Amino acid sequence: MVIDNILAAIDVLANGHALLLMAVGVAGGLIAGAIPGFTIAMAVVLTLPFTFGMSAHLGLATMVSVLVGGLSGGLMAGILTGIPGTPSSVATTFDGFPMARNGEPGLALGIGVWSSFCGGIISAVLLMTLAPQLAKIGLEFNPWGYFMLVMFALTITASLAGKNMIKGLIAGALGLLLRTVGEDEAAGMARFDFGSDALLGGFDFIAVLIGLFAFSQLLNDVRDRETAKKSLTQRSTIQVKIEHRRAIAEILKRWTIVVRSSLIGVFTGILPGAGGSIANILAYDQTKKASKYPEKFGTGIADGIIAPESSNNAVEGGALIILMALGIPGDVTAAIMLGALLMNDVVPSPSFITDEPVLAYSIFISFFIATFMMLGLQSVMLRVFVRVTRIPMYVLASIILGFCGIGVFALQNVSFDLWTLLWFGILGFTMRHFGFPLVPMILGVVLGNIAELNLARALAITPDLTPFFTRPWSLFFMIITIFSALFPMFQGHRIKEKAWTLFYLPTACFAISLPLFMMGGLTRPVLAAFLLCFGTYLLWQRKQNGWRFKA
């Protein structure tokens, strides 16, 4: 069955047209990822209008290619100029740039490229194996569980905003509220149309995404007059030859770092809201802590390039696992993918892989193919990158704003979408300026109607609210929502050694074990018992330490 699906997906993608589109996607992603100020999400969202005339398989394969290219493109700028192309390649500059300055830019790029490749392949394998399994678990979710899962996704995204958690939560709520504008899907009644026919149709979700992410980002990039006129590099050529053989040898010597960092990347991707920007720093930090020579980090060692590059490429596999298995986007790019699926009348849910196996497997396969293409195209795109970085930012921003206009109109041939783009561009820019994170808002917009529809379904089954507390999956997500919401406070108070923080983790273990016991079967009660034991051990340990974290 799986083999049949894989073969069917290969059949869809193994033709000149599809491969050409994917190659263009990877090349475009590499360039977009390499330009500081342009994010991968921006590149993927701007690809969306081009895909509307394609089949869902081709459109998504192109977008996945842009995504894979973008994830790897950041390393070029980071290593050669010291300015990370994307937030997900910040840690790459710590050792990549010094290595390049030490006279080995070819080796630094080679290590970066091959680490990205390994991270991508590990993540693609996990995507193909884990997503169908997780989807089986997802099929157990009832409307109560699914509603709480959405709430969990929003809360954890906001809590990742750290000190700005309250702003993150407000942004998430604002996204949910703006999604309610227009006719509601359950009853077909007009909401918040303020007498306008245009508002009756609601805001087009893609126009909102492009406005919030691309438009506002471009304005941010040209905010400073002098910076806007400058190009990234004045150099007309950068003579670098990627040293593949030496790079492979260096990576093989450090395969444990590749595997560990890739797993960190996949796990971070699975966590809604966390993304490459967190994963690369986390992987770098963990590698440094585990290293026998931590003092050498930052001087241009291979370990410092392998860790961030393999983790940031693995992130998207994790985000896609959650999107394809549960229908919940793990980050902004996955949210855009969800938009692409919706554009093709495919509603991602736990039954997505079962209902649309060829489409699902074509996403898996395109992730693989794109990762291989990235490897081949990186050397070619290096020359293009040098040319692109000579173009001043204001020129790039003006052209892309012009593209945004054409692209957004092309989505539905509706002028109102262009106004949506403008208003949400202004809103996104203002929110960025006032320190409100945009990711929770985007997830709010994306997940708003999923949450409402599941709430409506739950209440249609019974108007009683107790199933939210008595159904295992609903209770499970409710508990982890509460604990993830408290996590930033826990982190802050733990440093101050406040007493309640001693009980945070044990209480979380005890609380989570309850729904796991309720789920029945064998594995989950065993896991619950383990959590109970672990929580008890933590309490005992703290008592032994005189009610402190460490004696």
Interacting residues with other proteins (CB under 8 A): 49-50, 52-53, 163-164, 166-167, 169-170, 173-174, 176-177, 180, 184, 186-192, 194, 218-219, 222-225, 228-229, 392, 394-395, 397-399, 401-403, 405-406, 409-410, 413, 415, 418-419, 422, 425-426, 429, 433-435, 451-452, 455-456, 459-460, 463, 492
Cβ proximity to other proteins: between 379 and 412 the closer is: 412
For residues 244 and 266, give the distance between their C-alpha atoms in angstroms, rounded to a whole number: 25
- Rounded to the nearest whole angstrom, what is the least distance from the CB of residue 390 to other proteins in the complex? 13
- Rounded to the nearest whole angstrom, what is the least distance from the CB of residue 416 to other proteins in the complex? 10
- Rounded to the nearest whole angstrom, what is the least distance from the CB of residue 509 to other proteins in the complex? 26
- Rounded to the nearest whole angstrom, what is the least distance from the CB of residue 361 to other proteins in the complex? 26
Phi, psi of 500 (to 5 degrees): -65, -25
Cβ proximity to other proteins: between 311 and 420 the closer is: 420
Place of tokens 């394809």: 324
Contact status, residue 404 vs residue 46, Cβ threshold 8 Å: yes
Query: 433 Cβ partners below 8 Å, 6+ apart?
Result: none
Contact status, residue 124 vs residue 262, Cβ threshold 8 Å: no
For residue 409, the tally of other CB atoms under 10 A from its CB is 16
Is 298 strand, coil or helix? coil
Tokens representing residue 539 in the block: 């309490």
Contact status, residue 69 vs residue 377, Cβ threshold 8 Å: yes
Strand ranges for 200-346 from DSSP E: none
For residues 44 and 293, give the distance between their C-alpha atoms in angstroms, rounded to a whole number: 39
Cβ proximity to other proteins: between 81 and 164 the closer is: 164
- Rounded to the nearest whole angstrom, what is the least distance from the CB of residue 426 to other proteins in the complex? 6
- Rounded to the nearest whole angstrom, what is the least distance from the CB of residue 169 to other proteins in the complex? 5
Cβ proximity to other proteins: between 177 and 248 the closer is: 177
Cβ proximity to other proteins: between 203 and 361 the closer is: 203
Query: 41 Cβ partners below 8 Å, 6+ apart?
Result: 213, 331, 332, 333, 336
For residue 239, the tally of other CB atoms under 10 A from its CB is 8
- Rounded to the nearest whole angstrom, what is the least distance from the CB of residue 410 to other proteins in the complex? 4
Cβ proximity to other proteins: between 111 and 340 the closer is: 340
For residues 123 and 71, give the distance between their C-alpha atoms in angstroms, rounded to a whole number: 13
Cβ proximity to other proteins: between 239 and 434 the closer is: 434
Cβ proximity to other proteins: between 294 and 402 the closer is: 402
- Rounded to the nearest whole angstrom, what is the least distance from the CB of residue 31 to other proteins in the complex? 15
- Rounded to the nearest whole angstrom, what is the least distance from the CB of residue 135 to other proteins in the complex? 27
Q: How far is CA 145 from CA 139, 149, 356, 475, in A?
A: 11, 6, 23, 8
For residues 338 and 319, give the distance between their C-alpha atoms in angstroms, rounded to a whole number: 11
In degrees, to the nearest 5, what angle opens at C-alpha 159 toward C-alphas 350 and 437?
Answer: 95
Cβ proximity to other proteins: between 102 and 415 the closer is: 415
